[in-house]
Homo-oligomer: A and B are copies of this chain.
Amino acid sequence: MAKMIHSMIRVLEEGRSVEFYKKAFGLEVAERLDFETFTLIYLSNSETGFELELTVNKGREEAYDLGDGYGHLAFSVEDVDAEHRRLTDAGLSPRKLVDFAPAGDVIARFFFIQDPDGYEIEVLQRGGRYL
Answer whether A5 and B71 are a contact pair too, CB < 8 Å, given A35-B102, A48-B49, A48-B50.
no
Q: Which residue of B lies closest to A102 (CB)?
A: B35
- Please give, as numbers and ranges, the residues of chain B lying within 8 Å of A45 by CB-CB distance: 1-3
Q: Which of A46-77 contact B (CB under 8 A)?
A: 46-50, 52-53, 55, 64-77
Number of interface residues of A (CB under 8 A): 56
In the complex, whether A111 has a CB less than 8 A from a CB of chain B is no
Of chain B, the residue at the smallest CB distance from A33 is B107
Measured CA separation A40–B53 after assembly (Å)? 25
Whether B5 lies near A76 (C-beta < 8 A) is: yes
CB distance from A80 to the nearest CB of B (A): 10
A31 at the A/B interface (Cβ < 8 Å)?
Answer: yes
Closest to A73 in B: B7
- Nearest Cβ on chain B to A43's Cβ, whole angstroms: 9
- Chain A interfacial positions (CB closer than 8 Å to B): 1-10, 24-26, 30-31, 33, 35-36, 42, 45-50, 52-53, 55, 64-77, 83, 102-103, 107, 117-119, 122-124, 126, 129-131
